[in-house]
A and B are shown apart, each in its own frame.
Chain A
Amino acid sequence: MIMLKVTDLKVNYGGIEALKGISFDVRQGQIVTLIGANGAGKSTTLRAISGLVKPSDGSINFMGRDITAFNSQKIVAEGVAMVPEGRRVFANLTVKENLKIGAYLRKDKDEIEEGIKDIYRRFPRLKEREWQLAGTLSGGEQQMLAVGRAMMAKPKLLMMDEPSLGLAPLVVKDIFSIIRDLKSEGITILLIEQNANAALRCADFGFVMETGRITMTGSGQELLVNEAVKNAYLGSN
Protein backbone atom coordinates (compact mmCIF):
# COMPACT_ATOMS: atom_id res chain seq x y z
CA MET A 1 0.00 0.00 0.00
CA ILE A 2 1.23 3.45 -0.81
CA MET A 3 1.39 5.52 2.37
CA LEU A 4 2.84 8.76 1.10
CA LYS A 5 2.46 9.97 -2.44
CA VAL A 6 4.30 13.12 -3.48
CA THR A 7 3.33 14.41 -6.93
CA ASP A 8 5.15 17.08 -8.92
CA LEU A 9 6.13 18.96 -5.76
CA LYS A 10 7.63 22.43 -6.24
CA VAL A 11 8.98 24.74 -3.55
CA ASN A 12 10.30 28.27 -4.01
CA TYR A 13 12.53 30.11 -1.55
CA GLY A 14 12.33 33.76 -2.50
CA GLY A 15 12.57 33.19 -6.24
CA ILE A 16 14.92 30.21 -6.04
CA GLU A 17 13.33 26.92 -7.02
CA ALA A 18 14.53 24.51 -4.36
CA LEU A 19 12.28 21.74 -5.66
CA LYS A 20 11.54 21.66 -9.35
CA GLY A 21 8.70 19.17 -9.39
CA ILE A 22 9.55 15.90 -7.71
CA SER A 23 7.34 12.82 -7.49
CA PHE A 24 7.88 9.74 -5.36
CA ASP A 25 5.98 7.20 -3.29
CA VAL A 26 6.65 5.70 0.11
CA ARG A 27 5.11 2.28 0.66
CA GLN A 28 3.89 1.19 4.06
CA GLY A 29 6.44 -0.67 6.16
CA GLN A 30 9.40 0.30 4.02
CA ILE A 31 12.49 2.36 4.59
CA VAL A 32 12.80 4.86 1.77
CA THR A 33 15.81 7.09 1.48
CA LEU A 34 16.55 10.30 -0.35
CA ILE A 35 20.23 10.74 -1.03
CA GLY A 36 22.09 13.51 -2.73
CA ALA A 37 24.58 16.32 -2.23
CA ASN A 38 24.12 19.40 -0.09
CA GLY A 39 21.51 21.71 -1.58
CA ALA A 40 19.87 18.99 -3.66
CA GLY A 41 16.55 19.70 -1.94
CA LYS A 42 16.34 16.73 0.42
CA SER A 43 15.64 18.75 3.54
CA THR A 44 13.25 20.99 1.65
CA THR A 45 11.27 17.90 0.67
CA LEU A 46 10.87 16.87 4.31
CA ARG A 47 10.06 20.42 5.37
CA ALA A 48 7.33 20.58 2.74
CA ILE A 49 5.84 17.24 3.81
CA SER A 50 5.81 18.31 7.47
CA GLY A 51 4.15 21.62 6.65
CA LEU A 52 7.04 23.91 7.60
CA VAL A 53 7.24 25.33 4.07
CA LYS A 54 4.34 25.75 1.70
CA PRO A 55 4.83 24.17 -1.72
CA SER A 56 4.17 26.44 -4.69
CA ASP A 57 2.79 23.58 -6.72
CA GLY A 58 2.12 19.86 -6.63
CA SER A 59 0.46 17.70 -4.04
CA ILE A 60 1.25 15.58 -1.00
CA ASN A 61 -1.05 12.73 -0.24
CA PHE A 62 -0.82 10.78 3.03
CA MET A 63 -2.90 7.64 3.66
CA GLY A 64 -5.29 8.70 0.96
CA ARG A 65 -5.74 12.27 2.21
CA ASP A 66 -4.50 15.38 0.50
CA ILE A 67 -2.38 17.08 3.18
CA THR A 68 -0.73 19.66 0.90
CA ALA A 69 -2.50 22.62 2.52
CA PHE A 70 -2.37 21.28 6.11
CA ASN A 71 -0.37 23.13 8.76
CA SER A 72 2.24 21.36 10.92
CA GLN A 73 -0.07 20.46 13.81
CA LYS A 74 -2.58 18.82 11.49
CA ILE A 75 0.15 16.86 9.77
CA VAL A 76 1.53 15.63 13.09
CA ALA A 77 -2.03 14.68 14.05
CA GLU A 78 -2.33 12.67 10.83
CA GLY A 79 0.64 10.57 11.95
CA VAL A 80 3.75 12.09 10.40
CA ALA A 81 6.60 12.81 12.80
CA MET A 82 10.03 14.22 12.09
CA VAL A 83 13.47 13.91 13.59
CA PRO A 84 14.87 17.24 12.46
CA GLU A 85 18.36 17.88 11.18
CA GLY A 86 20.81 18.64 13.96
CA ARG A 87 18.53 16.85 16.47
CA ARG A 88 17.02 20.07 17.78
CA VAL A 89 16.13 18.68 21.19
CA PHE A 90 14.79 21.33 23.56
CA ALA A 91 17.97 22.09 25.48
CA ASN A 92 16.07 23.90 28.25
CA LEU A 93 13.71 20.97 28.92
CA THR A 94 14.59 17.79 30.77
CA VAL A 95 14.95 14.50 28.93
CA LYS A 96 11.57 13.38 30.23
CA GLU A 97 9.90 16.64 29.21
CA ASN A 98 11.35 16.30 25.72
CA LEU A 99 9.67 12.91 25.48
CA LYS A 100 6.42 14.25 26.88
CA ILE A 101 6.36 17.11 24.43
CA GLY A 102 6.68 14.61 21.60
CA ALA A 103 3.26 13.34 22.69
CA TYR A 104 1.86 16.87 22.81
CA LEU A 105 -1.23 16.11 20.73
CA ARG A 106 -2.02 12.81 22.44
CA LYS A 107 -4.66 12.69 25.16
CA ASP A 108 -4.15 9.11 26.41
CA LYS A 109 -2.23 9.86 29.61
CA ASP A 110 -1.65 6.27 30.72
CA GLU A 111 -0.43 5.21 27.32
CA ILE A 112 1.91 8.18 27.19
CA GLU A 113 3.52 6.99 30.44
CA GLU A 114 3.80 3.51 28.90
CA GLY A 115 5.34 5.05 25.80
CA ILE A 116 7.97 6.84 27.87
CA LYS A 117 8.87 3.58 29.63
CA ASP A 118 9.10 1.93 26.24
CA ILE A 119 11.54 4.58 25.02
CA TYR A 120 13.60 4.07 28.19
CA ARG A 121 13.72 0.32 27.53
CA ARG A 122 14.96 1.04 24.04
CA PHE A 123 17.45 3.71 25.16
CA PRO A 124 18.48 2.94 28.76
CA ARG A 125 20.89 5.85 28.72
CA LEU A 126 17.95 8.26 28.49
CA LYS A 127 16.41 6.69 31.60
CA GLU A 128 19.66 7.36 33.49
CA ARG A 129 19.49 10.98 32.45
CA GLU A 130 15.73 11.39 32.83
CA TRP A 131 15.93 14.59 34.92
CA GLN A 132 18.88 16.17 33.17
CA LEU A 133 18.42 19.08 30.80
CA ALA A 134 18.58 17.79 27.24
CA GLY A 135 21.26 20.39 26.45
CA THR A 136 23.71 18.51 28.66
CA LEU A 137 23.50 15.25 26.70
CA SER A 138 26.14 14.08 24.23
CA GLY A 139 25.41 14.24 20.52
CA GLY A 140 24.53 10.57 20.29
CA GLU A 141 22.26 10.74 23.33
CA GLN A 142 20.56 13.81 21.87
CA GLN A 143 19.95 11.89 18.66
CA MET A 144 18.39 9.04 20.63
CA LEU A 145 16.24 11.58 22.44
CA ALA A 146 15.18 13.17 19.14
CA VAL A 147 14.18 9.74 17.84
CA GLY A 148 12.39 8.93 21.09
CA ARG A 149 10.60 12.26 21.02
CA ALA A 150 9.35 11.63 17.49
CA MET A 151 8.27 8.11 18.47
CA MET A 152 6.17 9.56 21.27
CA ALA A 153 3.81 10.99 18.65
CA LYS A 154 3.00 7.38 17.66
CA PRO A 155 3.76 8.15 14.04
CA LYS A 156 2.74 6.06 11.07
CA LEU A 157 5.49 7.70 9.06
CA LEU A 158 8.76 8.74 10.64
CA MET A 159 10.90 11.20 8.70
CA MET A 160 14.55 11.52 9.66
CA ASP A 161 16.77 14.33 8.45
CA GLU A 162 20.46 13.40 8.55
CA PRO A 163 20.32 11.37 11.78
CA SER A 164 23.99 10.38 11.52
CA LEU A 165 25.33 13.88 10.93
CA GLY A 166 28.16 14.86 13.23
CA LEU A 167 28.13 11.63 15.23
CA ALA A 168 31.06 9.31 15.96
CA PRO A 169 31.23 6.22 13.69
CA LEU A 170 30.23 3.82 16.49
CA VAL A 171 27.20 5.95 17.30
CA VAL A 172 26.29 6.09 13.61
CA LYS A 173 26.20 2.29 13.65
CA ASP A 174 23.82 2.42 16.62
CA ILE A 175 21.57 4.89 14.85
CA PHE A 176 21.24 2.69 11.79
CA SER A 177 20.49 -0.36 13.90
CA ILE A 178 17.76 1.67 15.61
CA ILE A 179 16.34 2.54 12.19
CA ARG A 180 16.23 -1.16 11.28
CA ASP A 181 14.55 -1.98 14.60
CA LEU A 182 11.88 0.63 13.99
CA LYS A 183 11.19 -0.84 10.59
CA SER A 184 10.83 -4.32 12.03
CA GLU A 185 8.19 -2.88 14.36
CA GLY A 186 6.17 -1.80 11.35
CA ILE A 187 7.06 1.88 11.22
CA THR A 188 7.49 3.39 7.79
CA ILE A 189 10.58 5.53 7.49
CA LEU A 190 11.58 8.26 5.10
CA LEU A 191 15.29 8.85 5.61
CA ILE A 192 17.56 11.57 4.36
CA GLU A 193 21.26 10.90 4.52
CA GLN A 194 24.56 12.16 3.28
CA ASN A 195 25.99 8.85 4.39
CA ALA A 196 24.58 7.27 1.22
CA ASN A 197 26.32 3.97 1.76
CA ALA A 198 24.73 3.23 5.12
CA ALA A 199 21.39 4.63 4.05
CA LEU A 200 21.15 2.50 0.91
CA ARG A 201 22.20 -0.62 2.80
CA CYS A 202 19.18 -0.45 5.07
CA ALA A 203 16.72 1.07 2.59
CA ASP A 204 14.12 -0.83 0.59
CA PHE A 205 13.99 1.92 -1.92
CA GLY A 206 16.08 4.95 -2.76
CA PHE A 207 15.82 8.16 -4.72
CA VAL A 208 18.80 10.19 -5.82
CA MET A 209 18.25 13.95 -5.82
CA GLU A 210 20.21 16.55 -7.72
CA THR A 211 19.48 20.31 -7.63
CA GLY A 212 15.78 19.99 -6.95
CA ARG A 213 15.06 16.96 -9.08
CA ILE A 214 14.97 13.21 -8.67
CA THR A 215 17.48 11.83 -11.12
CA MET A 216 17.59 8.12 -10.24
CA THR A 217 15.37 5.63 -8.51
CA GLY A 218 15.82 2.04 -7.55
CA SER A 219 15.91 -0.43 -4.70
CA GLY A 220 18.63 0.11 -2.13
CA GLN A 221 20.63 -2.77 -3.56
CA GLU A 222 20.32 -1.52 -7.16
CA LEU A 223 21.53 1.94 -6.27
CA LEU A 224 24.40 0.55 -4.19
CA VAL A 225 25.85 -1.17 -7.25
CA ASN A 226 24.90 1.53 -9.77
CA GLU A 227 28.07 2.96 -11.34
CA ALA A 228 26.83 6.57 -11.44
CA VAL A 229 25.73 6.47 -7.82
CA LYS A 230 29.00 4.83 -6.82
CA ASN A 231 31.00 7.54 -8.50
CA ALA A 232 29.01 10.47 -7.20
CA TYR A 233 28.03 9.41 -3.68
CA LEU A 234 29.73 6.25 -2.54
CA GLY A 235 33.34 6.77 -3.54
CA SER A 236 34.39 4.72 -6.59
CA ASN A 237 36.38 2.04 -4.77
Chain B
Amino acid sequence: MIDKMLPYLLSGISVGGQYALIAVGYTMVYGILRLINFAHGDIFTAAGFFMVYIAAALPVPLAIPLVVILTVLLGVTVERVAYKPLRSAPRMSVMISAIGVSYLLQNLMWYVTGGLAKQYPVIPWISDSVTIGSATTKMVTLITPVLTILLVLALVTIIQKTKIGMAMRAVSKDFETAQLMGIKINSVISTTFVIGSLLAAVGSVLYFSNYTSVTPTVGAMPGLKAFVAAVFGGIGSIPGAVIGAFIIGICENIIKALGYTTFSDAFTFALLIVILLFKPTGLFGEKTSEKV
Protein backbone atom coordinates (compact mmCIF):
# COMPACT_ATOMS: atom_id res chain seq x y z
CA MET B 1 0.00 0.00 0.00
CA ILE B 2 2.64 2.51 1.04
CA ASP B 3 4.65 1.53 -2.05
CA LYS B 4 1.69 2.36 -4.20
CA MET B 5 0.94 5.64 -2.40
CA LEU B 6 4.46 7.04 -2.14
CA PRO B 7 4.83 8.42 -5.67
CA TYR B 8 1.42 10.10 -5.40
CA LEU B 9 2.25 11.56 -2.03
CA LEU B 10 5.54 12.94 -3.31
CA SER B 11 3.93 14.49 -6.32
CA GLY B 12 1.13 15.85 -4.13
CA ILE B 13 3.60 17.64 -1.90
CA SER B 14 5.41 18.96 -4.94
CA VAL B 15 2.30 20.22 -6.71
CA GLY B 16 1.17 21.68 -3.40
CA GLY B 17 4.39 23.67 -3.24
CA GLN B 18 3.85 24.98 -6.75
CA TYR B 19 0.28 26.00 -5.91
CA ALA B 20 1.62 27.65 -2.77
CA LEU B 21 4.04 29.83 -4.72
CA ILE B 22 1.15 31.09 -6.85
CA ALA B 23 -1.27 31.35 -3.95
CA VAL B 24 1.00 33.70 -1.99
CA GLY B 25 0.66 36.23 -4.82
CA TYR B 26 -3.14 36.10 -4.65
CA THR B 27 -3.28 36.38 -0.92
CA MET B 28 -0.75 39.23 -0.59
CA VAL B 29 -2.42 41.38 -3.21
CA TYR B 30 -5.75 40.71 -1.54
CA GLY B 31 -4.29 41.59 1.84
CA ILE B 32 -3.24 45.02 0.64
CA LEU B 33 -5.66 46.00 -2.13
CA ARG B 34 -8.65 43.79 -1.23
CA LEU B 35 -8.46 42.74 -4.88
CA ILE B 36 -8.59 39.26 -6.39
CA ASN B 37 -5.90 39.65 -9.03
CA PHE B 38 -7.45 37.51 -11.75
CA ALA B 39 -4.46 38.19 -14.00
CA HIS B 40 -2.14 36.35 -11.61
CA GLY B 41 -2.68 32.93 -13.22
CA ASP B 42 -1.95 34.41 -16.63
CA ILE B 43 1.24 36.00 -15.36
CA PHE B 44 2.20 32.51 -14.23
CA THR B 45 1.52 31.19 -17.74
CA ALA B 46 3.40 34.11 -19.32
CA ALA B 47 6.43 33.14 -17.21
CA GLY B 48 6.20 29.72 -18.91
CA PHE B 49 6.34 31.33 -22.34
CA PHE B 50 9.16 33.65 -21.32
CA MET B 51 11.12 30.50 -20.52
CA VAL B 52 10.25 28.91 -23.86
CA TYR B 53 11.48 31.88 -25.85
CA ILE B 54 14.48 32.86 -23.75
CA ALA B 55 15.77 29.30 -23.41
CA ALA B 56 15.74 29.09 -27.21
CA ALA B 57 18.39 31.80 -27.29
CA LEU B 58 20.27 31.45 -24.02
CA PRO B 59 21.48 28.59 -21.83
CA VAL B 60 18.96 27.65 -19.16
CA PRO B 61 20.94 28.85 -16.10
CA LEU B 62 21.01 32.33 -17.64
CA ALA B 63 17.42 32.11 -18.80
CA ILE B 64 15.94 31.47 -15.35
CA PRO B 65 16.92 34.80 -13.76
CA LEU B 66 15.81 36.61 -16.92
CA VAL B 67 12.44 34.87 -16.78
CA VAL B 68 12.03 35.94 -13.17
CA ILE B 69 12.92 39.56 -13.99
CA LEU B 70 10.56 39.72 -16.98
CA THR B 71 7.71 38.19 -14.97
CA VAL B 72 8.23 40.73 -12.20
CA LEU B 73 8.21 43.54 -14.76
CA LEU B 74 4.99 42.18 -16.24
CA GLY B 75 3.33 41.95 -12.83
CA VAL B 76 4.33 45.47 -11.84
CA THR B 77 3.29 46.87 -15.23
CA VAL B 78 -0.15 45.30 -14.90
CA GLU B 79 -0.51 46.98 -11.51
CA ARG B 80 0.63 50.37 -12.81
CA VAL B 81 -1.53 50.32 -15.93
CA ALA B 82 -4.67 48.51 -14.86
CA TYR B 83 -5.03 48.92 -11.07
CA LYS B 84 -3.22 52.08 -10.01
CA PRO B 85 -5.46 54.48 -11.99
CA LEU B 86 -8.43 52.90 -10.18
CA ARG B 87 -7.07 53.38 -6.67
CA SER B 88 -10.04 55.41 -5.47
CA ALA B 89 -12.61 53.61 -7.65
CA PRO B 90 -15.06 51.08 -6.19
CA ARG B 91 -13.59 47.61 -5.68
CA MET B 92 -15.85 46.14 -8.35
CA SER B 93 -14.23 48.36 -11.02
CA VAL B 94 -10.75 47.15 -10.12
CA MET B 95 -11.95 43.55 -10.21
CA ILE B 96 -13.42 44.03 -13.67
CA SER B 97 -10.15 45.57 -14.76
CA ALA B 98 -8.34 42.49 -13.42
CA ILE B 99 -10.62 40.19 -15.44
CA GLY B 100 -9.90 42.35 -18.48
CA VAL B 101 -6.16 42.05 -17.99
CA SER B 102 -6.52 38.30 -17.61
CA TYR B 103 -8.25 37.99 -20.99
CA LEU B 104 -5.85 40.46 -22.58
CA LEU B 105 -2.83 38.44 -21.49
CA GLN B 106 -4.40 35.16 -22.60
CA ASN B 107 -5.22 36.54 -26.01
CA LEU B 108 -1.81 38.14 -26.40
CA MET B 109 -0.34 34.72 -25.73
CA TRP B 110 -2.63 33.15 -28.36
CA TYR B 111 -1.55 35.86 -30.76
CA VAL B 112 2.18 35.48 -30.16
CA THR B 113 2.23 31.68 -30.15
CA GLY B 114 -0.36 31.23 -32.87
CA GLY B 115 -2.22 28.94 -30.48
CA LEU B 116 0.33 26.18 -30.86
CA ALA B 117 1.71 24.37 -27.86
CA LYS B 118 5.31 25.43 -27.37
CA GLN B 119 7.80 22.90 -26.19
CA TYR B 120 9.08 23.66 -22.71
CA PRO B 121 12.86 23.38 -22.41
CA VAL B 122 14.40 20.60 -20.35
CA ILE B 123 16.01 22.18 -17.34
CA PRO B 124 19.21 20.38 -16.39
CA TRP B 125 19.51 18.77 -12.97
CA ILE B 126 15.98 19.53 -11.76
CA SER B 127 14.56 17.37 -14.56
CA ASP B 128 16.84 14.46 -13.67
CA SER B 129 15.27 11.28 -12.33
CA VAL B 130 15.76 10.11 -8.79
CA THR B 131 14.56 6.97 -7.04
CA ILE B 132 13.22 7.05 -3.52
CA GLY B 133 12.22 3.69 -2.18
CA SER B 134 9.68 2.40 -4.62
CA ALA B 135 9.11 5.72 -6.36
CA THR B 136 10.97 7.10 -9.32
CA THR B 137 10.45 10.79 -9.75
CA LYS B 138 12.09 13.94 -11.03
CA MET B 139 14.45 15.99 -8.93
CA VAL B 140 11.98 18.89 -9.11
CA THR B 141 9.50 16.91 -7.02
CA LEU B 142 11.95 16.92 -4.14
CA ILE B 143 13.23 20.46 -4.65
CA THR B 144 9.82 22.13 -4.84
CA PRO B 145 8.63 21.70 -1.24
CA VAL B 146 12.04 22.62 0.16
CA LEU B 147 12.38 25.70 -2.03
CA THR B 148 8.77 26.72 -1.35
CA ILE B 149 9.22 26.54 2.39
CA LEU B 150 12.52 28.45 2.25
CA LEU B 151 10.99 31.19 0.10
CA VAL B 152 7.92 31.49 2.30
CA LEU B 153 10.04 31.65 5.45
CA ALA B 154 12.13 34.39 3.84
CA LEU B 155 8.97 36.24 2.92
CA VAL B 156 7.47 35.96 6.40
CA THR B 157 10.76 37.24 7.84
CA ILE B 158 10.66 40.22 5.50
CA ILE B 159 7.09 41.01 6.50
CA GLN B 160 7.68 40.61 10.24
CA LYS B 161 11.17 42.03 10.66
CA THR B 162 11.90 44.69 8.06
CA LYS B 163 10.80 48.25 7.65
CA ILE B 164 9.13 47.64 4.30
CA GLY B 165 7.37 44.62 5.82
CA MET B 166 6.06 46.80 8.63
CA ALA B 167 4.89 49.32 6.06
CA MET B 168 3.10 46.54 4.17
CA ARG B 169 1.27 45.46 7.31
CA ALA B 170 0.33 49.06 8.07
CA VAL B 171 -0.92 49.72 4.54
CA SER B 172 -2.95 46.51 4.57
CA LYS B 173 -4.77 47.83 7.64
CA ASP B 174 -5.25 51.51 6.87
CA PHE B 175 -4.19 53.31 3.67
CA GLU B 176 -4.85 56.78 4.90
CA THR B 177 -3.10 56.60 8.26
CA ALA B 178 -0.17 54.87 6.56
CA GLN B 179 0.10 57.92 4.30
CA LEU B 180 0.14 60.16 7.37
CA MET B 181 3.23 58.26 8.55
CA GLY B 182 4.99 59.23 5.32
CA ILE B 183 4.64 55.79 3.71
CA LYS B 184 4.42 55.82 -0.08
CA ILE B 185 1.39 53.65 -0.69
CA ASN B 186 2.22 53.08 -4.33
CA SER B 187 5.71 51.78 -3.70
CA VAL B 188 4.40 49.40 -1.04
CA ILE B 189 1.82 48.10 -3.50
CA SER B 190 4.48 47.73 -6.20
CA THR B 191 6.63 45.75 -3.77
CA THR B 192 3.70 43.42 -3.18
CA PHE B 193 3.38 42.79 -6.90
CA VAL B 194 7.15 42.29 -7.22
CA ILE B 195 7.06 39.59 -4.55
CA GLY B 196 3.91 37.94 -5.92
CA SER B 197 5.22 37.83 -9.49
CA LEU B 198 8.65 36.65 -8.41
CA LEU B 199 7.17 33.68 -6.55
CA ALA B 200 4.84 32.95 -9.48
CA ALA B 201 7.86 32.91 -11.82
CA VAL B 202 9.71 30.44 -9.59
CA GLY B 203 6.51 28.38 -9.32
CA SER B 204 6.19 28.45 -13.09
CA VAL B 205 9.69 27.05 -13.69
CA LEU B 206 9.03 24.27 -11.18
CA TYR B 207 5.54 23.51 -12.50
CA PHE B 208 6.27 23.45 -16.21
CA SER B 209 9.43 21.38 -15.86
CA ASN B 210 7.00 18.51 -15.19
CA TYR B 211 5.37 19.04 -18.58
CA THR B 212 6.61 18.97 -22.11
CA SER B 213 4.78 22.02 -23.46
CA VAL B 214 3.03 25.30 -22.64
CA THR B 215 -0.22 26.62 -24.11
CA PRO B 216 -1.90 29.98 -23.36
CA THR B 217 -4.59 28.42 -21.19
CA VAL B 218 -2.54 25.80 -19.39
CA GLY B 219 -1.91 28.14 -16.45
CA ALA B 220 -5.59 28.70 -15.81
CA MET B 221 -6.11 25.49 -13.83
CA PRO B 222 -3.12 25.78 -11.46
CA GLY B 223 -3.97 29.48 -11.15
CA LEU B 224 -7.53 28.67 -10.11
CA LYS B 225 -6.42 25.97 -7.70
CA ALA B 226 -3.93 28.34 -6.10
CA PHE B 227 -6.78 30.81 -5.73
CA VAL B 228 -8.90 28.14 -4.05
CA ALA B 229 -5.93 27.38 -1.80
CA ALA B 230 -5.71 31.06 -0.83
CA VAL B 231 -9.42 31.16 0.00
CA PHE B 232 -9.22 27.83 1.82
CA GLY B 233 -6.35 29.09 3.96
CA GLY B 234 -8.09 32.40 4.61
CA ILE B 235 -7.44 35.03 1.99
CA GLY B 236 -4.97 37.63 3.17
CA SER B 237 -3.04 35.11 5.27
CA ILE B 238 0.28 33.89 3.88
CA PRO B 239 0.66 30.81 6.13
CA GLY B 240 -2.98 30.02 5.33
CA ALA B 241 -2.36 30.11 1.58
CA VAL B 242 0.68 27.85 1.89
CA ILE B 243 -1.03 25.29 4.10
CA GLY B 244 -4.14 25.41 1.91
CA ALA B 245 -2.02 24.79 -1.18
CA PHE B 246 -0.25 21.80 0.31
CA ILE B 247 -3.53 20.29 1.49
CA ILE B 248 -5.08 20.69 -1.95
CA GLY B 249 -2.03 19.33 -3.75
CA ILE B 250 -1.82 16.28 -1.51
CA CYS B 251 -5.59 15.55 -1.53
CA GLU B 252 -5.76 15.75 -5.30
CA ASN B 253 -3.02 13.19 -5.66
CA ILE B 254 -4.42 10.87 -3.02
CA ILE B 255 -7.69 10.91 -4.95
CA LYS B 256 -5.72 10.01 -8.06
CA ALA B 257 -3.98 7.19 -6.20
CA LEU B 258 -7.35 5.80 -5.19
CA GLY B 259 -8.28 5.59 -8.85
CA TYR B 260 -10.66 8.55 -9.06
CA THR B 261 -8.45 10.74 -11.28
CA THR B 262 -11.51 12.16 -13.04
CA PHE B 263 -12.70 13.69 -9.80
CA SER B 264 -9.45 15.23 -8.59
CA ASP B 265 -10.23 18.68 -10.04
CA ALA B 266 -13.83 18.46 -8.92
CA PHE B 267 -12.63 17.79 -5.39
CA THR B 268 -10.78 21.12 -5.25
CA PHE B 269 -13.78 23.10 -6.36
CA ALA B 270 -16.16 21.17 -4.13
CA LEU B 271 -13.80 22.09 -1.31
CA LEU B 272 -14.12 25.76 -2.29
CA ILE B 273 -17.91 25.55 -2.10
CA VAL B 274 -17.83 23.80 1.26
CA ILE B 275 -15.40 26.36 2.68
CA LEU B 276 -17.46 29.28 1.41
CA LEU B 277 -20.59 27.74 2.93
CA PHE B 278 -19.24 26.81 6.34
CA LYS B 279 -16.15 28.92 7.02
CA PRO B 280 -15.97 31.79 4.54
CA THR B 281 -12.94 33.29 6.31
CA GLY B 282 -10.95 30.10 5.67
CA LEU B 283 -8.56 28.32 8.02
CA PHE B 284 -6.67 31.42 9.12
CA GLY B 285 -9.09 34.17 8.16
CA GLU B 286 -8.45 37.69 9.40
CA LYS B 287 -8.55 37.95 13.12
CA THR B 288 -10.35 41.03 14.26
CA SER B 289 -8.70 42.37 17.35
CA GLU B 290 -9.98 45.90 17.08
CA LYS B 291 -11.63 47.51 20.04
CA VAL B 292 -14.48 49.84 19.34
Contact = CB atoms under 8 A, between A and B. Distances in A.
Interface string B139-183: 000000000000000000000000100110110111011011111
Given A92-B173, A136-B291, A153 B166 contact: no
Interface string A118-145: 0000000000000001011111001000
Interface in B197-229: none
B180 A52 contact: yes
**Among A50, A72, A88, A153, which residue has the most Cβ atoms of chain B within 10 A?**
A72
Interface string B41-75: 00000000000000000000000000000000000
A90 B170 CA distance: 6
A91 B182 contact: no
A164 B191 CA distance: 37
A160 to B, nearest CB: 12
B291 A135 contact: yes
A176 to B, nearest CB: 22
A88 B163 CA distance: 20
Nearest to A133: B289
Contacts of A102: 181
A97 B164 CA distance: 12
A52 B173 CA distance: 17
B3 interface: no
A173 B179 CA distance: 29
Contacts, number: 69
B166 A135 contact: no
A91 B289 contact: yes
A50 to B, nearest CB: 6
A97 B166 contact: yes
B21 to A, nearest CB: 24
Interface string A94-123: 000100111011000000000000000000
Contacts of A82: 180
A139 B180 contact: no
A90 B289 contact: no
Contact of B182 (A77, A133, A142): A77
Contacts of B184: 73
Contacts of B166: 93, 97, 100-101
Interface string A38-63: 00000000000011100000000000
B169 A92 contact: yes
A90 B182 contact: no
A159 B6 CA distance: 64
A90 B126 CA distance: 44
Interface residues of B, number: 19
A88 B177 contact: yes
B180 A50 contact: yes
Contacts of B163: 104
A93 B169 contact: yes
B31 to A, nearest CB: 10
B290 A76 contact: no
A36 interface: no
Given A136-B291, A137-B291, A84 B182 contact: no
Contacts of B290: 91, 135
Contact of A73 (B172, B183, B291): B183
Given A90-B169, A92-B173, A139-B291, A101 B179 contact: no
B291 A76 contact: no
B170 A101 contact: yes
Nearest to A92: B173
Nearest to A73: B182
A153 B169 contact: no
Contacts of B182: 72-73, 76-77, 104-105, 153
A91 B181 contact: no
Given A73-B182, A102-B181, 18 more contacts: A50-B180, A72-B179, A72-B180, A73-B179, A73-B184, A76-B181, A76-B182, A90-B169, A90-B174, A91-B173, A92-B172, A92-B173, A93-B166, A93-B173, A101-B183, A104-B181, A135-B289, A136-B291
Interface of A: 50-52, 72-73, 76-77, 81-82, 84, 88, 90-93, 97, 100-102, 104-105, 133, 135-139, 142, 149, 153
12 contacts: A81-B180, A82-B180, A90-B169, A90-B174, A93-B170, A105-B182, A135-B290, A135-B291, A136-B291, A138-B291, A139-B291, A142-B291
